[in-house]
Amino acid sequence: MGSSGILSIALVCGFMVLAAAPISAGDEAALKKAVTFYASFDKSLMPDVGVGPIRTRFGTPTEPAKFTFEPGFNKKIYHIAKGKGIAGGCLEATDVLPNRGRFYYPVKGNLAYKNGGWSGACSMWINMDPAALKLGFCDPVQITQKGANNGGIWFDFNDAKPRDLRMGVFPAVPEGTVGAKESDDDAPMVWVKKVLFKTGDWHHVVLSWSNFDTGKKDAVATLYIDGKKIGAVKDRAIAMDWDIEQAGIYTALGYTGLLDEMALFNRALTADEVAALHKTPGLLTGLKKK
């Protein structure tokens, strides 16, 4: 597949359980120790592990590059659905915000970002129908300072019919240069065509990456869906180059549906760890605040 994975597959709907061997107690403890952010969404949008505050960013219709920020989030759109999650309660998004609005958690205190080299992973469960989304594009998660294609780690559903699911790990674009486009053959993406998810079915998505911001062509980013490795971006230099004070973990952008068990890690995950998180959706619930 080269340095970017482009797959033409329709993912099977429904909750799939892989015949993976359980990880040992020691490996489970090591996995939990690697968690830097965990939101069970059982009682609140605030994380059980990690820090806030939660803020919301809006675009300015007349000035696309200008943003406004507000504390908190819209409680009429985003709320906790008790007992509806893959493990306990979950986040339910019932509508989309105007003016490209999206709520976010800070990167600082929640990710192990380090200029000079760092690794990480993001795990979450989603329950939604891509065909029912209200906007052209939807990002269940987008981690960035300047934009999805300018130092961004994300997965989204695009505007195709049926929609595609895509993982992107776009490096920061130096001033005065033009960055990669999503349509480029060598774009840093894994692309899954015609995703046929349906409301009522839970799916597990993991983004796992290593060797970002090293200055070397040694970065790797892997997409897993329902415990299976789908594809990877590798053998290239990928630098986020964030101002950590300004970067955000944007969540449920243009998203309607349920989202649960969101976690970030301070290192890349192994295939066995991903399989364990998929096989046991409540694996991290021991980290919940009492």
Q: Output the DSSP codes for 247-284.
A: -EEEEEET--EEEEEEEEESSPPPHHHHHHHHH-TTTT
Taking every pair of Cα atoms in the chain, the longest distance, rounded to a whole number of angstroms, is 55
Residue with token string 């595609």: 164
pLDDT at 245 over 50: yes
Compare 268 and 289 and report the one with higher pLDDT. Answer: 268
Least confident among 97-101, 122-126, 226-230: 97-101
In sequence order, the β-bridge partners of residue 225 are: 205, 228
pLDDT at 4 over 50: no
pLDDT at 19 over 50: no
Place 7 in a pLDDT band, splitting at 50, 70 and 90: very low
Is the separation of the CB atoms in 193 and 8 below 8 Å? Answer: yes
SS (H, E, C) 181-217: CCCCCCCCEEEECCCCCCCCCCEEEEEEEEEECCCCC
- The CATH architecture to which 5-18+35-172+187-287 belongs is Sandwich (2.60)
Residue with token string 């795990």: 123
Mean per-residue pLDDT of the chain: 92
Q: How far apart are CA 65 and CA 178, in angstroms?
A: 16
What's the rounded mean pLDDT across residues 171-185? 92
Strands 257-265 and 248-253, sheet pairing:
unpaired
Q: How far apart are CA 123 and CA 256, in angstroms?
A: 18
pLDDT at 1 over 70: no
Q: What phi, psi does 153 have (nearest 5°)?
A: -120, 125
Tokens for 48? 């059980």
Name the 3-class secondary structure at 108: coil
Place 21 in a pLDDT band, splitting at 50, 70 and 90: low
pLDDT at 181 over 70: yes
What's the rounded mean pLDDT across residues 142-152? 96
Q: What is the DSSP letter of 148?
A: T
Place 12 in a pLDDT band, splitting at 50, 70 and 90: very low
Place 20 in a pLDDT band, splitting at 50, 70 and 90: low
pTM: 0.92
